[in-house]
Structure formats: C-alpha cells, structure tokens
Amino acid sequence: MEPLRGLIFGIERFALHDGPGIRTLVFMKGCPLRCLWCSSPQTQEPHAQITYDYSACRKCGACAASCPTQALTFSPDSGVRADFTLCDRCDKCLTVCPGNALQLMGRWLSTEDLFREVTRDSAFFRRSKGGITVGGGEPTFQPRFVSEFMRRCKDSNIHTAMETCGYCPWESLDNILEHTDTVFMDIKHMDDRVHRRLTGVSNRSIRENARKVAQKRPLIVRIPVVPGLNDSEENVRATAKFAAQLGKNLLRIELLPYHKLGLGNYERLGKNYQLTEVEPPSDERMELLRSATEGCGIQVRVAGRGL
C-alpha cells in the first residue's frame, strides 16, 4: 500500500508563540480562505507552485528560453516577466536557472518522513515542554495526512497543537482533534457579510466549529487586527463576547497585529497585493482594543506581549 503523503509548504524550527515551549511548526499547503491581508499567499493553492525572485535573477534569459508556455518571457531591458497562470509545471525553468531565482514552493512528504524531520528537535521539546504545531495554509485541507502525523507524534509523547481557520467539515476537524492537545482558531470578523467580503467565505461554520472544538480541547481564539477592516472596538468586543460563551476550555484570545512582511511573497508569485496603503496598528491602538474587551470575563493578550 502506498504511504500516506501530504503537501508541505515549509517547516520552521525554534518557534515560541504557537503553543507551549520550543516548537517546530509545520505549514501545510492549501487554504479555502482568501483573506485580503494574507501574508503567505504561497500556501493558498493545494498544489506546488513556482515563484520568481527578481533580486536573485541574473537576467540571462535561460528560464524563458526553456519555457514551452511563455509563462516566463525575457527582454534585455525589462528582464524576466512571469505569468504563472500559464505555467504547466514542466519545471524546466528550475533546472536551468543559475541564480536560484525560480523556486518550487511545496513538497510531498510521507507521514514517516515528516515525523523524522520534526523529531530532530525532540531534545528541545523535552527540555522546554514544547512540541509541534501544524498550521498552513489550512491543516484540514489534508485531514487524513495531518491526523495520521499527529497520531504519530502523540504516540511518541510529543505535545501537538493545530492552527486552523475553522472553515471545514466538522468531520475533518474532529479526526485531527483526536490527536491534538491545543487548538488555535482564527475568527476574522463576527459579521457574516463582512467576513465574506474579507475572506471569501461565510463565518457560520467557523463559529459552529469553534463551539464544538471548545467542548473537546483547549482553545485559543485569535483575531488578526487589520486597520480599517476588522479593527473596530465593536467587532473585537463582539468576538470576545462570543468566545466567553465557549466554556472553560477557552484559554484566551490573542490579538495579532497586521504586518506587511508578506509583500515580497506576492511579488514572487506575480500577484498584486490589495492592502498596500494599510499600515500596521500602533501599540496604543492594540492596547485600546485589548482594554475594550475588559469585562467580558476572559483573558485577552496582544500577540508577542504579556497580558
């Protein structure tokens, strides 16, 4: 029988903010949401993708000459232009680029291969009471693979956590929960119409899944705070009130300040970023939003800080 394989975007070691202790993060590929502020657009598609880094390009034109679909074109004046909607994934350009300006985003791994990679960090897990956190993209896009990988970790007494958008069939989420110690779930906006506009999907199943998760596992609700889109005191307070009703397994809310660290990812994919005019929220604004939740009866933190 063929081993179960999953499409992985990347692995990050020595993380400190996505669960207890020192953690190794596994980023799955594929996501059902299209958040306007997404900082990792290369994790959205459920297949491997080629990206182009202009700063690493030697302007030799070898990639364009090898491309059978004209997804890559070249001129001495403007250099390489990429239109990856035309790419048929023959991957010829990857083999001829001398500067590694073209890179493949996404690799297939078996659960055992991934387990071997993350357990290189086992000593750090033991000393810090850390573990692994699976995010994305969206882990529930590949539920069988993630569930089996998490089971493998739990069988080895490794703490497991999952970051999810919550937009998925309950069965997909529930199967992974069987082997998950802690869940982080984003709630982008409480108003369903606004949520659709910001992410492309309804928040109804997300809210329902949050209720179900909180009945089974410790849950941390996260709110990405994006100025002008979801940073009203009314929305943050409404989210806190919703979270407060989830019961004793709700550990806290974390406010995640918007940032622009993903702009280069859009450039490398040849995509336009829609929020170029939006600036990160100030510390004062984040503290105001945190204080707006006081009285809701739950702990609220600004990510990367204390209480």
pLDDT by residue (tens digit) across 186-245?
Answer: 999 999 999 999 999 999 999 999 999 999 999 999 999 999 999 999 999 999 999 999
The whole-angstrom separation of Cα 290 and Cα 300 is: 6
What is the 8-class DSSP label of residue 258?
-
Confidence of residue 304 (pLDDT cuts 50, 70, 90): low
pTM for this prediction = 0.92
Amino acid at 20: P
Domain ranges of the chain: 5-45+106-302, 49-103
Is CATH 3.30.70.360 the classification given to domain 49-103? no
User: Which residue, chain included where needed, has tokens 């004046």?
Assistant: 77
Q: What are the angstrom distances between the C-alpha of 154 and each of 18, 71, 125, 132, 172?
A: 17, 44, 13, 10, 18
Domain 5-45+106-302 sits in CATH at 3.20.20.70
User: Which residue, chain included where needed, has tokens 């199943």?
Assistant: 205
Q: Is the peptide bond before 264 cis (omega within 30 degrees of 0)?
A: no
pLDDT in tens, 121-176: 999 999 999 999 999 999 999 999 999 999 999 999 999 999 999 999 999 999 99
SS3 content of the chain, % helix, strand, coil (to 5): 35, 25, 40
| Among candidate residues 43, 103, 51, 41, the one with its CA nearest the CA of residue 262 | 41
Beta bridge partners of 300: 253
Amino acid at 115: F
Confidence at residue 306, expressed as pLDDT on a 0 to 100 scale? 39
Q: Would you say the CATH fold of 49-103 matches that of 5-45+106-302? A: no
User: Which residue, chain included where needed, has tokens 């959205």?
Assistant: 44
Q: What are the angstrom distances between the C-alpha of 183 and each of 105, 176, 300?
A: 26, 10, 16
| Among candidate residues 106, 8, 38, 69, the one with its CA nearest the CA of residue 266 | 38
The whole-angstrom separation of Cα 22 and Cα 131 is: 7
